[in-house]
Amino acid sequence: MTDLFGSIESLSAAYVTHQTKPSKVVDAHLQAIEKHNPHLGAYQTVFFDQAMQAAEAADKAFMSGYRIGPFHGIPFALKDIYELEGQICTNGSMTLKDRVSAKTGTVVRRLIAAGGIILGKSKTVESAFGGWGTNQKMGTPWNPWDMKNHRIPGGSSSGSGVATAAGLAVCGIGSDTGGSVRLPAAYCGIAGLKVTEGQLPCDGIAPLAQTLDSPGPMAQTVADTVILYEVMLGRESSLIDRDLQTGGGLYQMMGKGVRGLKLGQMAQSERDNCSADILAGYDLAIDALQRLGAEIEVFTSPFGYGSLADDNGAITAVEAYNNHGHLYEDSAAPMDEDVRKRMLTGKAYLAHDYVRMLETRRNRCDEFNEAIKGFDAILTPSTTSTAPKIDDVDQAISPGHFTRPFNYLAMCGLSVPTGLAKDGMPHSLQIIARAHDEAMAIRIGASIESVTPSIGRAPL
């Protein structure tokens, strides 16, 4: 029998052979949302009627022989910072709970044009400003790998991560300014791609920090992440189909393996930031890549990742305050107080401070790129620990120790699940490649995925 909660790849194939149809898949996901979302809280809004109407239209298209491509009929979760004409877009804020979008942005139009079916708007950290995934006013989704204890889902694309991991969507759309795709992907046990900044259009997406923001795909497998990425790029669906069927393009890279690649592993100074469980999973992944033929060598960054993460946070705070500070200056507004503290730090910087930040960033990017000459990619854990319980979180600390540096350095990265720790929570490998070399991150990610037992969907 066809798994109605399968991947983009498997469902697309099942549609072609008429083993199932989009209306059955969408209905199954909507039923799962009705059953589990009251506890998990992945969605801010669910489009029950609209999603079924779109699914029935897709059924008719398939019956008449009109198939757009591999994303046609696939139900997905859309982070509630993306504008969708006629629908409410809260940006995770109670203050904006009734705000209706006037237009649909480019990325969302591409997803719809490719035949994707939006199940609803997924929850987000307020203003997308936070890596833990918490939201005081609108609710914090539960990490689905622990249904008894409320553990953080990772943020800010918290709802998309939870929905994808729990079978409440086939895949999800997030955004990444300091790790907001990779962190929830890592904590929830799915794949998440941080694309090179400027590669995807950000119109119709509420900005956090325009210098660093990038939309990004979240999915069950590396291949699904690639399909979503190409759809978001606006690539013609027939060309994506062709490459999938022939093993061309990025899908060819997925099969090339890692033999002969030189990959940089963490220095001891960075290992000291990680829990024992995270290091155990990281070392297993490194060993697996070495067995596959990769050359592994310690890479020592010219800058500590903690320092780079702080620099990323400073630019984010300045630009975020410019975008949203007026909401947080109003002490009577029902804003998330944790986000308010972060947001208001941005007002302390003067214009020359900000100019110096950007100049320093350019210089550090040049120096880092010089340091990684000879390496094909850098490998770190995605997080320093598995998902903590929400009551154990220190909001003054960002979980983006390993993610924020690479937004700052204008690189791309892929988080891939590598197993479950002793506490039953996922751990994840982060693969960092040079700007515009998503193909390298995907190549390595597919290789580690091929030799790592799948953790599957979270057992609800």
Report H helices in 218-335. Answer: 222-233, 237-246, 249-254, 268-271, 276-291, 305-329
By the 8 A CB rule, do 399 and 132 touch?
A: yes
User: Residue 459: pLDDT band by 50, 70, 90 thresholds?
Assistant: very high
Residue 226 CB-half CA count within 13 A: 26
Q: Is this prediction's pTM over 0.95?
A: yes
Percent of the chain at pLDDT exceeding 70: 100
Catalytic residue among 7, 156, 301, 398: 156
Kindly state the DSSP code that residue 46 receives in the 8-state scheme: E
pLDDT of residue 1: 66
Element (H, E) at 30: helix 22-40
- Provide the pairing of β-strand 377-381 with 262-265: parallel
Element (H, E) at 172: strand 171-175
User: Residue 2: pLDDT band by 50, 70, 90 thresholds?
Assistant: confident
User: Residue 165: pLDDT band by 50, 70, 90 thresholds?
Assistant: very high
- Tell me the two tokens of residue 444: 């390595």
Catalytic residue among 79, 121, 123, 194: 79
What is the rounded distance in angstroms from the CA atom of residue 205 to the CA atom of residue 106? 9
User: Residue 51: pLDDT band by 50, 70, 90 thresholds?
Assistant: very high
Averaged pLDDT of the chain? 98
Q: What domains appear along the chain, each with residue ranges and CATH number?
A: 8-250 (3.90.1300.10)
Element (H, E) at 432: strand 426-433
Average pLDDT value for residue range 359-367: 98
pLDDT of residue 30: 98
- pLDDT tens for 388-423 read 999 999 999 999 999 999 999 999 999 999 999 999
pLDDT of residue 79: 99
Average pLDDT value for residue range 167-178: 98
Give yes or no: 127 in active site: no
Extract the runs of DSSP E, i.e. beta strands, from 28-81: 43-46, 75-79
Give yes or no: 10 in active site: no
Helix/strand/coil for 255: coil
- Tell me the two tokens of residue 368: 């880092």
- β-partners of residue 263 are 296, 377
What is the rounded distance in angstroms from the CA atom of residue 448 to the CA atom of residue 285? 7
Give yes or no: 347 in active site: no
By the 8 A CB rule, do 188 and 25 touch?
A: no
Average pLDDT value for residue range 435-452: 98
Catalytic residue among 23, 158, 175, 180: 180
Tell how many helices (H) and how many strands (E) occur in the chain.
16, 11
- β-partners of residue 428 are 417
- β-partners of residue 379 are 431
Give the count of beta carbons closer than 10 Å to the beta carbon of residue 224.
27
What is the rounded distance in angstroms from the CA atom of residue 319 to the CA atom of residue 389? 30
- pLDDT tens for 82-112 read 999 999 999 999 999 999 999 999 999 999 9
pLDDT of residue 132: 98
User: Residue 31: pLDDT band by 50, 70, 90 thresholds?
Assistant: very high
- pLDDT tens for 197-228 read 999 999 999 999 999 999 999 999 999 999 99
User: Residue 152: pLDDT band by 50, 70, 90 thresholds?
Assistant: very high
- β-partners of residue 121 are 45, 78
User: Residue 33: pLDDT band by 50, 70, 90 thresholds?
Assistant: very high
Residue 172: what are its φ and ψ, rounded to 5°? -145, 160
- pLDDT tens for 255-302 read 999 999 999 999 999 999 999 999 999 999 999 999 999 999 999 999
